[in-house]
Amino acid sequence: DPNIGEIKFQAPNRIDSVLTSQRLDHHFSNDKDRLMLRYTLSSTREQRNAAAGSAGMGVVGTAGIGYPNLIPTDRFQGHNAMVGWTHSFSAERFNDIRAAWSREGIELPRPRSDVPILQSLDGVLLPGSPRQSAQRENNNVVQLSNTFSERRGRSALTVGFEFRRNLSNSLTLGL
């Protein structure tokens, strides 16, 4: 019917990211030892427009159109830290030890969980949170490695080990 108007509010897609990386190297005065420290942070906040068909994981339909407070803001964060020590016994022999930790955090909230999920079969857009449930996950990885290398003439010998442990804090459903 041309006599009835329609007003839609469509929130724009928005992605805010921060990335930083720091590194510190220290060479000791004995010229045989070197210490290295590194830290990296990556953080992203993302709000997607459900009307554009890019609403993201766990979002159903076009709920949230016209209701900016019902559009979820997802958070993704990663940390990585490492310490390394290299010791030279001589020009032909050295040892390298490294320890590292990394963490990935994902938070997919359900905005206004007090508002029920409403759906209409006649195409009417009803207010409601577009995500079925909130999800949160933290994954940690711990690594430790040691490598010893020795050169003799044109030959080289390298031995070592690496230990890696994945620690997942699983998935939390906010039903």
* Helix, strand, coil percent values for the chain (each to nearest 5): 5, 55, 40
Which bin fits 31, alpha (ψ -120 to 50), beta or left (φ > 0)?
A: left
CA 49 to each of CA 52, 66, 73, 79: distance values in angstroms, whole numbers, following the listed order: 6, 11, 10, 28
| Structure confidence by residue, pLDDT tens digits, 129-149 | 667 778 888 889 999 999 999
Integer Cα distance of 12 and 80 in angstroms: 31
| Structure confidence by residue, pLDDT tens digits, 11-55 | 567 788 999 999 999 999 998 999 999 999 999 998 876 554 444
